[in-house]
Structure 1
Amino acid sequence: MVDMTLTEIVNGFNTTPFLFIGSGMSRRYLELPNWESLLKHFATQIRDDKFAYQYYVNKASSGNSSMTLPRVASLIENDFNEEWFSNPAKRNLNEKELESVANGASPFKAEVAAYIKRSFSIIPQYQKEIELLEKISLNSISGVITTNYDTFLEDHFDGYKTYIGQSELIFSPLQGIAEIYKIHGSVDLPESIVINEKDYQIFDEKEKYLAAKLMTIFMEYPIIFLGYSISDCNIQQIIRSIVSCLDTQQLHKLSDRFIFVEYQPNNNGIEISSYAVMIESEPLQMTKIGLSDFSQLYRALEMKKAKMPVRLLRHFKEELYNFVITNSPTATMRVASIDDTRVKDEDLVLAIGRASEFGLKGLSGLDASEWYRNIVLGDLNFSADELLRYAFPKLLKQNSNKLPVNKLLVSAKESYPEAEELALKYTFDKIISKTIRNQRHIVEKYHSVMDIWNLKSATIEKKTRLVAHLPEDKISIDELETILKDLFEQNRNILYEETTPPVKTNIRRLILIYDYLKWGKRKEPSD
């Protein structure tokens, strides 16, 4: 018997825990079927016989017992799909779900997903318990790993990001905070559901990669198992994959962080004991907590809180990660004083040093391609004043004193003499250059921007070059805006390094023309 209370165990955590959630939680809160009950339901959809499920179990019973249910699922799926395609009366899918089958999804998996969605309803007696779980998800839980298909967690854990299936987990940059890892798939993506023998074979082949991805989480966070049997083969296999990478000292640390919660229907209190799981003939020690009322666990976890909501912590980590790997600030990551009134409440703020020393310095990291694209798309979430004050001076020097600024000057609330001087300097003739004016005869047969843009055999380089040769009176602002937006819709990063220099130069010139014609053209004073 462990001589500690639940509160003392939680207080001993080094950080807020990860939850590892199984089907017992879906049965408790949603009255959804477990794996075997789910297969029994679909067996009877094929064979109207009380022995329908046993028929498939009998066919699948030879070989590795841990693969019996996946083999049963495979047999049911094969017969179900054949019946589904030949008998329209067996179909229970809406138009969108039918379309997924038309695009190659398994009818069995699509029907499994639809059945779970239709069966999804909160059991009233657990409403208060669910509300408490919802509450602690804000500050007292770091994240969730689950083998469940349903969307209960996404629906109740506000601001968490969900990753579906092994592939998305393995190939995504996880932040390890306010995230839900659905390792066996989701009803939102039926083909991701791990249920049949082939699914499990693929899962097992990739398991070492998944284990490597989850290793940091298992070593850094307390792990609380909820809704599982202690002997669950899926859990044991995942733990085995992780344990095989650890030495004795690391295993000891792992055992200190593993908490297994066992539902005991007749236990009105809390029973705490040590428990050993045999992994490859070696015991892995963990703490077992037996209870019937999960709110007791949730109230204990409520006492362990992160300093700020975990969804904001994840947002900060993601923004910082993106900044580090791209070396470019994002629209929501700014460096500013906490009391800087220019920063909205929903924006992310990082303050270092004395408040008086800081402005929106993250803007100084913007590059010219982002500046030019913003003239067309308006996709930078910074005000015109912020861009002109903090980004413009540096970018102007880096780009040979040539930048489109008219759009920003029209929107700016303050005066920016250097930008205003630049705007006056770059008239239409100055933008297109003397060389282009001298070669204007090459576009004499074209009467508009679209005449050139609709040339079927011309390359992007040729089209963007020829448009700039048109005289000013033949350039429609609306047509020029259309082709520029079309270019960015086809390739948002068309101005970056992968684009050939001539194309980049041509597009920038067209944006300068667009900026001048739409916002900068000065009317001549009347006589």
Structure 2
Amino acid sequence: MPSYSQRMDAKIRDVLLEFECQPILFMGSGIPKRYFEAPSWLELLRIVLDGMPVHHGKFEYYYQKHSGDPIAIGSELSDLVFEWAWGAGKASFPEALFEAGMSKDCFLKSLVCDHLSKVTPGKREDFSILPKEVAALSDIRPHAIITTNYDHSLEVIFEGYVPVTGQTIIRYNTNSFGEIFHIHGDVSEPSSIVLTREDYEEWKDKKKYISAKLLTYFAEHPVFIFGYGLGDPNVKEILRDIGELVADDTGLIDNVYQVIWVEDLPKNPPEQAVFSVDGKEFRINAVYAQNFQWVFEALKSQSALTSVNPKLVRALAARTMKLIRHDIPTGSVEVDYDVLERVADQDSELPNLLGIAITNNPNHTHPLNNSSSQRLGFNHWSGANKLVNRVKDETGVDLRSSDNSYHCQIKTGPGKNSKVRKWSLKSVDLLQKVKSDEEYAIEL
């Protein structure tokens, strides 16, 4: 019987094949914590407080005073840093922060962003903790990444992806590719980060617009959540907004997966994670992992996108949108309708036009081997083999006798018998119908 990780690996690969698009990654603070020991939110506030000599060692006082609420602690620290900046700490800040019109929380945000910029690795090779996991993560080519993290570690890991932050998110074209959406701001623009109570009140007003902007991603792509707990109020509220539109009648958001790190794998891990917001219950898929490497490898794109610079794809998408929305309607370009008709009618024409080669790699078209018979409810290939023989008896077609849309043989070595049989997802659908005594047709 396949292990839990093997079953989940197959489930992840299946959802990617089903959607036929790149996943969206929703990355939380657990990711930088895991890969370069970035400080947590409360640890970051402690570091800032200890940086002011007069308040060194007093973090426990503010923690107790505000019952550990980081928003309340951050709001009070904003006032303390402001007073220190205009007194003994003035030399610690750029002169521009003292100009009229600057918000008083700019000093706290400047310290937070400076510290995160210093501790964030500058190159992928600088990630010394779990480097194999980081390498596997960097091999994924997600359509986009959404995060509440302020740091730019994801930009280092995902080379060619660009940060989008602040008001820009609301105006951004989500048809693009290769962006990292910092929905709580990022270190390149300290004033954008969401840190104090005032920031969070403003964030709540904007959240509905950001959720609406992200709806296309959540509705049309598989979404994988890393580094967050479902108790995180920001994640819960966004998923609630999305769930109200795309969840089924039972509250299940079927294309969203939360990947949960555990030190010891439960004997029977639950398949779903449940959370409630304002008395309404929602469910998403759950994947438990003692390490993330196998999850990242399952998410790795099966297409040639692994070797394409996201900047190139992004530029191509932007230029295509401009061509459709502006250049053709205004008559500023001449249109060769013969070429457009061929692009519309023939799948291979657009890649040829763009200089992209279509791969015929059977590992992409036929990703399953004989051990995948578990998808049909069998513990051994013999059960699936009986269905293949039944198809032969009933139709006269032996699926194994040729390379076709259901089956192919791949040479694995120089020996005469060094071959392996591979099967497509289409073959699973066919054999499921045979098993269920449903009508079926063979389309080789």
Cα distance in 2 for partners of 1:158, 1:260 equals 24
AA paired with 2:130?
Y
SS of equivalent to 1:12: helix
Paired position in structure 2 for 1:55: 61
Structure 1 residues 250 and 169: alpha-carbon distance in aligned structure 2, compared to 1, 3 A threshold:
farther
Q: Does 1:78 align with 2:68?
A: no
2:128 matches 1:124: yes
Aligned to 1:155: 156
Name whichever of 126-135 and 264-273 sits farther off. Answer: 264-273
Could you tell me how far apart the structure 2 residues matched to 1:191 and 1:229 are? 26
Alpha carbons 1:32, 1:120 under 8 Å: kept: yes
One-letter amino acid of the structure 2 residue matched with residue 201 of structure 1: E
Indicate how the Cα distance of structure 1 residues 215 and 334 shifts in structure 2: closer, same or farther if over 3 A, else same.
farther
2:130 partner SS: helix
Per-residue CA deviation, residues 267-326 of structure 1 (Å, 9 max, x unaligned), is 599956322112332322222222232111111112644767472443332111122222
The separation in 1 between residues aligned to 2:29 and 2:240, in whole angstroms, is 20
Give the Å deviation of 1:38: 0.6
In the other structure, the counterpart of 1:261 is 259
In the alignment, what sits opposite 1:190?
A: 190
The amino acid across from 2:199 in the alignment is D
- AA aligned to 2:51 is Q
Of the candidates 22, 30, 38, which is equivalent to residue 44 of structure 2? Answer: 38
Q: 8 Å contact 2:240–2:282 — kept in the other structure?
A: no
The change in CA–CA distance for 1:219 and 1:291 in structure 2 (over 3 A counts) is same
Alpha-carbon distance in 1 for matches of 2:268, 2:316 = 37
Measured at CA, do residues 135 and 213 of structure 1 come closer, stay the same or move farther in structure 2, by a change above 3 Å?
A: same
Letter of the 2:136 counterpart: L
1:259–1:288: 8 Å Cα contact kept in structure 2? yes
In the other structure, the counterpart of 1:10 is 12
Aligned to 1:229: 229
Query: In structure 2, do the counterparts of structure 1 residues 123 and 197 end up closer, same or farther at CA, with 3 Å as the change threshold?
Result: same
Q: Give the TM-score normalised by structure 1.
A: 0.55
Distance 1:189 1:102 in 2: 17
SS in structure 1 of the partner of residue 212 of structure 2: helix
Q: Quote the offset at 1:161 in angstroms.
A: 3.1
Structure having the larger proportion of residues in helix: 1
1:297-312 correspondence to structure 2 within 5 Å: 297-302=295-300, 304-305=302-303, 309=308, 311=310, 312=312
Partner of 1:109: 109
Q: CA deviation at 1:102?
A: 4.5
Structure 2: which amino acid aligns with 1:210? I
Contact 1:194–1:200 under 8 Å retained in 2: yes
Paired residue type of 2:283? Q
1:32 offset after TM fit, Å?
0.9
Q: Which residue is 1:135 aligned to?
A: 139
Q: Show structure 1 runs of 5+ residues with no match.
A: 337-349, 362-527
Q: Give the CA deviation at 1:249.
A: 5.0
- Partner of residue 486, structure 1: none
Instruction: Name 1:433's counterpart in structure 2.
Output: none
TM-score for the superposition, normalised by structure 2: 0.65
Letter in 1 for 2:7: T
What SS class does the counterpart of residue 20 from structure 1 fall into? strand
Amino acid at match of 2:13: N
Deviation at 1:202, TM superposition (A): 0.3
**1:342 maps to what in 2?**
none
The alpha-carbon distance between structure 1 residues 107 and 12, as it changes in their structure 2 partners (threshold 3 A), is: same
Per chain length, whose mean CA-contact separation is higher, i.e. which structure has more relative contact order (CA < 8 Å, sep 6+)? 2
Once the 2 structures are TM-superposed, how far is the Cα of residue 48 of structure 1 from its aligned partner?
Answer: 5.1
Structure 2 gap ranges (5+) = 337-341, 354-444
2:417 alignment partner in structure 1: none
Alpha-carbon RMSD across the aligned residues, in angstroms, is 3.7
Deviations 1:149-197 (A, max 9, x none): 11111122222232112x1111222225321100011111111111111
Letter of the 1:302 partner, please give it: K
Match of 2:207 in 1: 207
**CA apart distance, 1:201:** 0.4
Partner of 1:475: none
How many residues align? The count is: 329
Is residue 243 from structure 1 mapped to residue 247 from structure 2 by the alignment? no
